[in-house]
Amino acid sequence: MAFALFVKITQIVVLDVVLSGDNAVVIAMAAHKLPAYQRKKAIFWGGMIAIILRVVFTALMAFLLMVPIVRLVGGLVLVWIACKLLLDEEEKVVTPDNADKSTFAAIRMIFVADFVMSLDNMLAVAGAAGEKLWLLVFGLLVSIGIIMTCSAFIARLMNRFKWIVYLGAAILAYTAGEMMIGDREVASYFARSHRVSLNSHWEEDFMLTRKKVSRFDWAEELPADLQGVVRFHDGQLEFAGQMNEDQKKALLAGVAQADHEAIEEMYEQARHRDVPNWVPQGVKPHVELWFQRKWPVEVWKGIQGRQYHAVAWIFSALVIAFCLGFPYWKRGRSTQAKAPG
């Protein structure tokens, strides 16, 4: 029991630290130009506020991430933050007179960026903690020290090597591009209306459910309920679309007793969820799609042969190019405006 608890705590801490690498970068970018005392203050309070909010809002993440265009809007906010940080790098000079004001601006920027970038992080950590809120809180609190230490170290490097600032902006821009093209409504528009997949994450997040099983007796000849929706490869069972009760029973009949829990988890992840009762009756038909864990299998079948995943990389590259080039474009416009005649 004690060992299992130790493993769970370790899992939460490691998961949060790994997922927060880009958060440490943005914290460092916002604070590195401040004097040492104000820098520590900005890193501590900016990161602390965002992490506390992660704990508070974790319970809401499962619903928040289903709200239309939330990732798209979050990505646009990160693009603005990346451009703003680079503009400040080029233009802002911190002096003893404006240090306190700059500290507040850095804390505000850290809070906004860290919160936006933590949407997916919070959902992942909440899944690892399960129903034990104290485990979630403990894991996040332990990770605070690690994240803050990394942020302070990166901030010192940025003061010595300016190119690291632009690398940080590129990481932030890449995160923004991933968020925008990974938005559920963006994916739905292209996959449902145009029958194309432009990002492999669309299939992983919205169409397919996978679990490891020890054996699958139906691998050679699938029952009618599973044809066209199930694939077994290298010990992994893959299900496309929304699973119904009959399909679950057929899968349970084809796996070992030890794998029944995996099938039950697949069912929970893939099935259609009813709209909660607290949603007004008049609104339910309009929000029903938000509460589907996976799209119908027809969407998966429709994109076969039309999967252009390179588009996601190209889009992220364009977002990075825009963010890195924005300060030069802005400076060029300002120079033209000030030029006589």
What does the domain layout of the chain look like in residue ranges? 2-187+312-336, 208-294
Distance of alpha carbon 59 from alpha carbon 100, whole angstroms: 35
Task: Please give the structure tokens belonging to residue 231.
Answer: 């694939």
Residues of the chain with pLDDT under 70: 1-5, 7-26, 29, 31-34, 36-37, 47, 50-51, 53-66, 88-149, 151-152, 159, 333-341
Residue 89: what pLDDT? 60
Distance of alpha carbon 107 from alpha carbon 113, whole angstroms: 10
Rounded alpha-carbon distances, angstroms, from residue 37 to 42, 99, 205: 9, 10, 43
Q: 20's torsion region: left (phi>0), alpha (psi -120 to 50) or beta?
A: alpha
Distance of alpha carbon 176 from alpha carbon 316, whole angstroms: 8
* pTM exceeds 0.75 for this model: no
Give yes or no for a contact between 167 and 26, defined as CB atoms under 8 angstroms apart.
Answer: no
Residue 118: what pLDDT? 60
Residue 274: what pLDDT? 76
Residue 93: what pLDDT? 46
- Please report which residue ranges of the chain form alpha helices under DSSP H: 2-19, 21-31, 36-57, 61-64, 70-91, 99-117, 119-129, 133-160, 163-181, 184-188, 200-206, 245-253, 260-270, 284-287, 297-302, 310-338
Which residues, in sequence order, are bridge partners of residue 272?
292
Residue 291: what pLDDT? 72
Residue 268: what pLDDT? 87
Distance of alpha carbon 102 from alpha carbon 121, whole angstroms: 28
Residue 95: what pLDDT? 46
Residue 99: what pLDDT? 45
Residue 102: what pLDDT? 60
Backbone φ and ψ for 212, nearest 5 degrees, come out as -80, 130
Residue 96: what pLDDT? 47
> To which residue do tokens 């332990």 refer?
142
Distance of alpha carbon 278 from alpha carbon 97, whole angstroms: 52
Residue 209: what pLDDT? 93
Rounded alpha-carbon distances, angstroms, from residue 41 to 78, 118, 141: 23, 21, 18
Per-residue pLDDT reduced to its tens digit, 229-276? 999 988 899 999 999 999 999 999 999 999 999 999 899 888 877 777
Give yes or no for a contact between 185 and 72, defined as CB atoms under 8 angstroms apart.
Answer: yes
